[in-house]
Chain A
Amino acid sequence: MLNAIFISVGFLAACGGFLAAVLVVAEKKILNYGPCNLDINAGEKELAVDGGSPLLSALAENSIFIPSACGGRGSCAYCKLKVLEGAGFVGPVEEHHLTPEELETGVRLSCQVKIRNDLKIEIPKELFAVKHFRAKLIEKEMLTYDIAGLRIELIEPQTIDFVAGQYIQLESEEYKGREAVMRAYSISSVPSDNRHIELMIRKVPEGICTTWVFDYLQEGKELYFSGPYGEFQLSETDAPIIFIAGGSGMAPIWSIIQRMVEKGIHRNAVYFFGALSQKDLFYADELNNIADSSEWFKFVPALSQEPEDSNWQGERGLITDVVKRYFPDTSAHEAYLCGSPGMINACISVLTEGGLPEEKIYFDKFA
């Protein structure tokens, strides 16, 4: 009996061990592509990397951080890059994330492109400036019942260079069986305070990252993020501005408005803040103070579900209707929107109806 157990267990163990060993050796021998050369932006930068790994992680090892929210599984499609030469075939995971034009011009998901030979790639300039930060949460404050304001102090590197309106990718840690993820949040503080950043995060029910932020991230705890990313920023024209954002979409707008105050950029600007009721309002005093003490800025909070008999003196109704009431003719303006895809699309159609050309509408969609 004992003998039989020994033989069968021993054989299975040997069998599994042998096959595993064969596979390990095979992987080392067969899938060894040797050192490969990455040519970035036509000779601007050259990297020697070990072949066999995905492009995304090879770049991250060399401190070039391409945005990615899914951790290289090919589901978020943030890590698109132009691969001019040597990318190989488009796999089935990538295929449905790429439009025919993108396929034509060599756009690929960098997490799905395996480095098997020398590659020529193009990376947007601003991604070179992206760094990976170790930082510490020094303050967590509830701005409303479901939006938290985080103030984060940088540890390594100690300072960050960004433009008001840009975002970072916050990395959550594993907790209770939920995996570590990266999520994008706009910076709400001003670039002049380059040793800190502030974020506004709305609690998403069942959200992996937001649950971590609300329930597990305590003041004083260390965290990691990469950034800055994004092209959402104030243009350099003199056109009057329409800002539209509600909830945590205020973050990049708040950063831009503070920047305008600081820099003395006095372009005419109206900020429409859409919310359901008074309990969703935050930073209203600060914004009203700026509005009261300046000629150029106006703050218009609009509530869509405030009870009829409440003490609310401000605007009521959907934000799109309020914007239309204020600006039937938007042809000379510029608009900056931040929020959910639904809200942004509704606002774009109202603004273009008013005569605003679509290329003058800048927006930051929550994905």
Chain B
Amino acid sequence: MDVLHSGIIQTFFLILISATFTDNILLTRFLGMCSCLGVSKKVDTSLGLGLAVIFVTACTAVINYLVYQFLLIPLGIAYLKLIVFIIVIAAFVQFVEMVIERVSIKLYFSLGIFLPLITVNCAILGTSLFMLNKPYSLLQAFAFGLGSGLGWFLAITIIGGIREKVNEASVPRGLEGPGITLIIIGIMALAFVGFSGMIKI
């Protein structure tokens, strides 16, 4: 079945689900690892960072799609996409930080502190770059961004939950901290491999 040309809603959800599960950006591509290792100690901080990543990934995927299709391609400078995407993401994050600070100070203190971490989260840049590998439409690009963000959110939240449990148990000294976390991520990645091939896009 050619997914990209079936019904609009069906395609949207297929891309969303495949980006979330079968092509989970954290567990199958291992992107966004540094902030994941740093922030996944507790479920509530994982949730905060995860939500921020969903929002920023989905929005920057759309913005970068528009920039790519309507500026970079017509000007013949598609090879500059890497640096342009980085600038766009950084500026967008700063902008969102300001808006959140003004609109909801409560949200700012629970979520806003993670925003600077996101500027350099490679999962977000990765999403913008991978989306160009497929002939997506704007809506499909949005689905891909949203799905990638959801996938990252799902992964870091589960890791946060497992780490909370693991911290109560006695971990061998040499494995404490990042060591056991990487092993957890590895085992989870194995589990997510089970999804692979379910949806082909």
Contacts and interface: CB of A to CB of B under 8 A. Distances in A.
Is B a genuine binding partner of A? yes
Given A22-B95, A30-B99, A31-B102, A11 B109 contact: no
Contacts of A15: 84, 87-88
Interface of A is mostly: helix
A91 B80 contact: no
A7 B95 contact: no
Nearest to A14: B71
Contacts of A219: none
Contacts, number: 50
Interface of B is mostly: helix
A265 B99 CA distance: 62
16 contacts: A8-B80, A11-B75, A11-B80, A12-B83, A15-B87, A16-B87, A20-B91, A23-B94, A23-B95, A23-B98, A30-B99, A31-B101, A31-B102, A88-B109, A89-B105, A91-B113
A116 B95 contact: no
Contacts of B102: 30-31
Interface string B85-111: 001100100110011011001100100
A27 interface: yes
A55 to B, nearest CB: 15
A142 interface: no
Interface of A: 4, 7-8, 11-12, 15-16, 19-20, 22-23, 26-27, 30-31, 88-89, 91-92, 116
Contacts of A20: 91
Contacts of A11: 71, 75, 77, 80, 84
Contacts of B95: 22-23, 26
A126 B113 CA distance: 35
Given A15-B84, A30-B99, A31-B101, A7 B109 contact: no
Contact of A7 (B77, B83, B98, B113): B77
B194 interface: no
A112 to B, nearest CB: 11
A34 to B, nearest CB: 12
Contact of B88 (A7, A19, A116): A19
Contact of A19 (B80, B91, B105): B91
Contacts of B76: 4, 7
Nearest to B102: A30
B91 A22 contact: yes
Rank and list the top 5 A-B pairs by shortest CB-CB distance, nearest first.
A19-B91, A89-B109, A30-B98, A30-B102, A8-B77
Nearest to B72: A11
Given A7-B77, A11-B80, A31-B102, 18 more contacts: A4-B76, A4-B77, A7-B75, A7-B76, A11-B77, A12-B80, A12-B83, A12-B84, A15-B88, A16-B87, A19-B87, A22-B91, A26-B99, A30-B98, A31-B98, A31-B101, A89-B109, A92-B113
Interface in B2-30: none
